[in-house]
Amino acid sequence: MSKPIHLTDDSFHNEVIESEIPVIIDFWATWCAPCRMIAPIIEQFSVEYQGQVKVCKLDVDNNQEVAMTYGIRSIPTVLIFKGGKVVDTIVGAVPKKMLKERLENHL
């Protein structure tokens, strides 16, 4: 079973910028209750979109460089990358249907 990739400041470039397929990243923190609400959706996406989308999580407390680079001011924030560039931003705990629609716009 596929699991989300846990990114770090060091692995971000290789895993995201150089990815051949679209990447969805959940920017989160352990203390964030809304982050825990969307975590199961992100887990499901890693199975549902296996091979089509790289599903990742980035803990903003432990990887502040990437969070600052992309201006993450509120969590959860979900960024969708395609060709190494941000193509969509979703802020807050939103329903699975909305995340799925936004992701599928970039497949």
For residue 34, pLDDT beyond 90: yes
The CATH number of the domain where 60 resides is what?
3.40.30.10
Per-residue pLDDT, averaged over 13-40, amounts to: 97
pTM: 0.96
Q: What is the mean pLDDT of the chain?
A: 97
pLDDT confidence bin for 2, thresholds 50/70/90: confident
Instruction: Check if 35 is active-site.
Output: yes
- The pLDDT tens digits for 55-104 are 999 999 999 999 999 999 999 999 999 999 999 999 999 999 999 999 99
57 within a domain of the structure (yes/no): yes
Q: Which of 16, 32, 90, 93 is catalytic?
A: 32
Instruction: Check if 56 is active-site.
Output: no
Q: Where are the alpha helices (DSSP H) in the chain?
A: 12, 33-48, 64-69, 96-104
Q: Which residues span the domain enclosing 19?
A: 5-101
pLDDT confidence bin for 1, thresholds 50/70/90: low
Strands 77-82 and 85-91: antiparallel
Q: Which of 7, 24, 25, 35 is catalytic?
A: 35
| Number of domains making up the chain | 1
AA letter at 82: K
